[in-house]
A = this chain, B = another copy of it.
Amino acid sequence: MSDPISPLAPESFPEMPPLAGVQLATHAAGIRYEARADLFMAALAEGTTVAGTFTKSLCPSAPVDWCRRILANGDSTARAIVCNSGNANAFTGRAGDTAAELTAELIGEALDVDPDRILLASTGVIGETLPTAALAAGLPALATSLTTSGPEGWAEAAAAIRTTDTFSKGAWSRIDGTAAHIVGIAKGSGMIAPDMATMLAFVFTDLAVSPEVLQHCLSASVTRSFNRITVDSDTSTSDSVLLFATGEQIDDDIHDFEDERLAGFQTALDQVTLDLAHQIVRDGEGATKFVEVRVSGASDDAAAEIIAFSIANSPLVKTALAAEDANWGRIVMAVGKAGQQADRDALEIWIGPEQVTAGGVVLDGYDEERATAHLAENEVVISVDVGVGDGSATIWTCDLTHGYIEINAGYRS
Instruction: State in angstroms the CA–CA spacing of A319 and B413 once bound together.
Output: 12
Instruction: State in angstroms the CA–CA spacing of A329 and B91 once bound together.
Output: 8
How close is A16's CB to chain B, nearest CB, in angstroms?
31
User: How many chain copies does the complex carry?
Assistant: 2
Pick the residue among B125, B322, B336, B347 that contacts A405 (CB under 8 A). Answer: B322
Would A322 and B409 count as touching, CB distance under 8 A? Answer: yes
Cβ–Cβ < 8 Å partners of A341 in chain B: 58
Cβ–Cβ < 8 Å partners of A92 in chain B: 361
Would B400 and A235 count as touching, CB distance under 8 A? Answer: no
Say if the beta carbon of A127 comes within 8 Å of chain B: yes
- Given A405-B402, A405-B405, A412-B325, do A59 and B332 touch, yes or no (CB 8 Å)? yes
The residues in A between 301 and 339 inclusive whose CB is less than 8 angstroms from any CB of B are: 313-316, 319-320, 322-323, 325, 327-330, 332-339
Contact with B along A212-240 (1 / 0, CB 8 A): 00000000000000000000111111000
Most buried by B among A195, A236, A333: A333
How close is A163's CB to chain B, nearest CB, in angstroms?
13
Instruction: State in angstroms the CA–CA spacing of A410 and B90 once bound together.
Output: 39
Would B332 and A90 count as touching, CB distance under 8 A? Answer: yes
Say if the beta carbon of A150 comes within 8 Å of chain B: no
Would A57 and B333 count as touching, CB distance under 8 A? Answer: yes
The residues in A between 385 and 413 inclusive whose CB is less than 8 angstroms from any CB of B are: 400-402, 404-406, 408-410, 412-413
- Given A127-B328, A361-B91, do A333 and B234 touch, yes or no (CB 8 Å)? yes
Cβ–Cβ < 8 Å partners of A329 in chain B: 88, 90-91, 125-127, 413
How close is A49's CB to chain B, nearest CB, in angstroms?
29
Would A316 and B408 count as touching, CB distance under 8 A? Answer: yes
Say if the beta carbon of A93 comes within 8 Å of chain B: yes
Say if the beta carbon of A56 comes within 8 Å of chain B: yes
Cβ–Cβ < 8 Å partners of A126 in chain B: 329-330, 332-333
Instruction: State in angstroms the CA–CA spacing of A334 and B126 once bound together.
Output: 12
Closest to A127 in B: B329
Say if the beta carbon of A362 comes within 8 Å of chain B: yes
Closest to A88 in B: B329
Cβ–Cβ < 8 Å partners of A95 in chain B: 361
Closest to A326 in B: B412
Instruction: State in angstroms the CA–CA spacing of A391 and B168 once bound together.
Output: 44
How close is A197's CB to chain B, nearest CB, in angstroms?
13
Cβ–Cβ < 8 Å partners of A330 in chain B: 126, 234
- Given A59-B335, A316-B232, A333-B235, do A93 and B409 touch, yes or no (CB 8 Å)? no
Cβ–Cβ < 8 Å partners of A319 in chain B: 404-405, 408-409
Cβ–Cβ < 8 Å partners of A141 in chain B: none
Would A333 and B236 count as touching, CB distance under 8 A? Answer: yes
Say if the beta carbon of A136 comes within 8 Å of chain B: no
Instruction: State in angstroms the CA–CA spacing of A336 and B234 once bound together.
Output: 10
Would A409 and B333 count as touching, CB distance under 8 A? Answer: no
Contact with B along A48-75 (1 / 0, CB 8 A): 0000000111111000000000000000
Closest to A408 in B: B319
Cβ–Cβ < 8 Å partners of A409 in chain B: 319-320, 322-323, 325, 401
- Given A91-B329, A322-B405, do A314 and B59 touch, yes or no (CB 8 Å)? no
A-B contact pairs, 15 of them (CB 8 A): A59-B332, A59-B336, A60-B344, A91-B332, A91-B357, A93-B360, A125-B329, A126-B332, A234-B337, A235-B336, A237-B332, A316-B408, A322-B409, A325-B409, A404-B405
- List 5 tightest A-B contacts by C-beta distance, closest first: A126-B329, A59-B336, A57-B336, A323-B409, A93-B361
Known: A58-B340, A88-B329, A327-B413. 5 other contacts (CB 8 A): A59-B335, A60-B344, A190-B316, A233-B313, A233-B315
